[in-house]
Structure 1
Amino acid sequence: MALGLPGTGHAETFTLPPFTQAYEPQGVDERGAWMMADEQERLLRSSKFVIRDDGLNHYVRGVFCRTVGQDRCANVRIYVMRMPEFNATMYPNGMMTVWSGLLLRVQSEAELGAVLGHEFGHFEKRHGVFGFKNKRTMSDVMAWIGVAAPQSAGFQYSLLGQVYAFNREQEREADMIGVQYLAASDYPSSAAARVWRRLMAEQDASASARGRKAKHGYAAGYFASHPSELSRATTLEAAAVRYGDEGDEGRAAYAQALREWLPEFLGDQIKRNDFGGSDFILDQLASDGWTGSLLFARAELYSQRGNPRDYVTAAQFYAQAIEKGYAAPKALRGLGLAQLRTQQTEQGKASLRQYLQQSPDASDASLISSLIGN
């Protein structure tokens, strides 16, 4: 199937990989890869990390189907995972996992579709099968080298490098398939590069908060399994210019769909103890204004870091969150504890009394009572 892309007179066309709904694994390697993936999926179905919210799952699947097409998405099973890192994975048997850290970081349906289309590209090109075969072959060769020529460390090093280079080439191919799917959909292909640009900015913020120098280069490390973020962003930006397509990114729809889960995902991110990265994510989410929920999360972030000045800042953010209508009692708890730590004793006790009034059966009620002398 050849798809024409709208543009400015030089738009490109591309042909989708062959696809069949009733595909069966071929050969020993593909059957082996499918068997391993089937077993992983059986275990995953009962995992405590799977989010079983029908609304969220239906929404993520809808974005995927609008990106790659209804026929191609029909046989893919998507599992949304409560995992705070940026990740999604496609398995050879048609299973896909989408981590909550990815959902927290992308800002539109188009950006999510870029990542999901990339993962589906791995499936269409059977990259998982090739990876299974390469790893098995490499293990056999390495074992032979270890017995027959244990001194050949240089050859082992070279062999490993070739395997990782092959993985990087697969990633580049999947990147291009993903951006092509965007260009052929109602979403703009320009969204794909922004995912990697924002990820680099988050890494910079994380490094800066830890007193480190951020580095981004075009070349990936010898043993890197993925191209560098800078290389990916640059390549995807060039592709989007060639396609010249336009469309609605679905930012408002995405924000609405994630509204219920956003506080939970932010809480998971804050627990990662990455102040710079978490503060960057909060700034991105607050680009249209600070809500009570975002202010509470920022207060929690400063309170967790726990420098003396941080408690002053946290108390201010807790108070602003409450003023913005954040009604959860834990905001009063956080405010009271921060005030106590900054020698605002009477104000802190008053805040904690309000907390106990709203949550008399809280698990920490006895501890809080002892702090305020009740």
Structure 2
Amino acid sequence: MSFRARGLALGALAFLLGSDLLGVGLSGVDLSRMAHAYAQPSPLPPYAGAYQPQGVDEIGLWQMMDEDERAIAQSPLVVRDEALNAYVRQVLCDTVGQHRCNSVRIYILQVPVFNATMAPNRTMRVFTGLLLRVRNEAELGAVLAHEFGHFESRHSLNKFKAARSGTDLLAWTAVLGSLAPRYQVARTYQNLQISVLGNLFRFGRDQEREADRLGVAYLNASQLRPQAAAQVWQNLMQEIDASALHRGLKKPRFDTIAFTASHPPEAERAGYLAELADPDGLRRDDGAQRYRATLAPWLGTFLDDQIKLNDFGASEYLIQSLAQEGWTAQLWHYRGELYRMRGNPRDLVNAAQFYGEAVALDAQMADAHRGLGLSLLKTGQPGAGQEALRQYLALKPDAPDARLIGMMIPNQGPGQ
């Protein structure tokens, strides 16, 4: 591969990998000072209308993203629910303004991670893991506005150009370093490579900060509560902390930046976003009730996807967070699923209790009877467990596992 081709390929890769919200979390940095330095109002850029790509680089990047969009549009991961798509679009429009969002094409992807991206050709991808984690329209709007800020600032094009120039320079320094007659000369080239890499990562972090400032500026100008932007990062830090605790890992540091981090640390972002939020917007509506009502038909699917990630701490944190508005049969059921899937003896006892709470709230929830029955069987309570499984089959006789479950119940053969 030529140096130019390598630069183009790595530039494209840098865009694809670097447009997400999450970064990896330089020691000794005074984050309070840094957060205050970035907590300066970012005026909204004048709306440029239906922007068209300019120059060879940008046209080529748009063409690449157009091809990618064609593939995404046919992907089975795309959630095609009309109501959910219309709602997410409306939240974007309510945040950045109708004129700005009109030509944005949104794809909701059933991927259970916290993320959203926006490509330079106005396609936005929203992951269902994000929808599960935000609690209201204001928090969702903060994330969508951040991604729109990347687009309106042309960050993807600038990142593409920087990555291409940087990787070209890295390739040449590698060649010249290998030809160096003395160690000190080779060391100079190695130091140059480290400097180039550091500038590339810093470039990405600065773009993230700019997109953060733009995102909260959109919220300040909207009717949604701008303080939600900082809350997103507070919630995420708590989830990461809960995940690490249950894995027995060292407590995460949210105030440090790794050399290869493409994003600012979470604590820094939460700090300057809180400072940037208009204090007069604190009492604005955050759309929490509307958000819960819209998400309700999909909540079970999103929770099921989350549990399958096998991240017990994060899943438990998310379920507990959702339950702050009150425990429902659905939340009790999925908490039971979480514990039963981990499968320790004490987990199965807890799972049976949680399924029991679900059945008490909704006796018609067939899957809760199933989970209850399986948990009771594994904890040495065959009579109660078989009765719960009979209830499951009575409520869901055409269940795909009906024959298998029937074999667990005496005097009830397959198909009975």
> How many residues are aligned here?
363
User: Do 1:187 and 1:246's aligned partners in 2 also have CA atoms closer than 8 Å?
Assistant: no
Change (3 A) 1:288 1:126: same
**Pairwise CA distance, 1:306:** 0.6
Q: Give the CA deviation at 1:91.
A: 0.5
Matches of residues 1-374 of structure 1 in structure 2 within 5 Å?
15-150=43-178, 151=186, 152-240=189-277, 246-325=283-362, 327-373=364-410, 374=412
Q: Aligned pair in 2 of structure 1 residues 165, 172: CA closer, same or farther (>3 Å)?
A: same
Distance 1:68 1:322, change over 3 A: same
> 1:15 is paired with a residue of what secondary structure?
coil
Shift of 1:111: 0.5
Shift of 1:252: 0.7
Q: Distance in 2 between matches of 1:13 and 1:192?
A: 14
More relative contact order, 1 or 2 (CA 8 Å, 6+ apart): 2
Q: Which amino acid aligns with 1:123?
A: F
Q: How many angstroms does 1:158 deviate by?
A: 2.1
Distance in 1 (alpha carbons) for counterparts of 2:172 and 2:137: 48
String of CA shifts for 1:165-212, please: whole Å, max 9, x gaps: 000000000000000111110012111100000000001111111112
Q: How many Å separate the matches in 2 of 1:352 and 1:57?
A: 37
Any gaps of 5 or more consecutive residues in structure 1?
Answer: 1-11
CA distance in 1, matches of 2:70, 2:239: 35
Q: Deviations over 1:117-156 (max 9, x none)?
A: 1000000000010111122222222222222223433322
Counterpart-to-counterpart distance in 1, 2:226 and 2:328: 30
1:60/1:139 CA distance change after superposition, 3 Å: same
Whole-Å separation in 1 of the counterparts to 2:84 and 2:365: 23
Query: Please, which runs of 5 or more residues in structure 2 have no aligned partner?
Result: 1-39, 179-185
Partners of 1:309 and 1:369 lie apart in 2 by 26
Matched letter for residue 145 of structure 2: G
After TM superposition, the score normalised by the length of structure 1 is 0.93
Q: Residue 330 and residue 217 in structure 1: after superposition, are their counterparts in 2 closer, same or farther (change >3 A)?
A: closer
Bigger shift: 330-339 or 353-362? 353-362
Query: Aligned-pair RMSD on alpha carbons?
Result: 1.6
d(CA) in 1 for partners of 2:254 and 2:302?
30
Any idea what SS the aligned residue of 1:75 has? coil
Identity of aligned residues (%): 51
Name the CA shift for 1:328/1:130 in 2 (closer, same or farther; >3 Å).
Answer: same
Deviations 1:329-348 (A, max 9, x none): 22111111000000001111
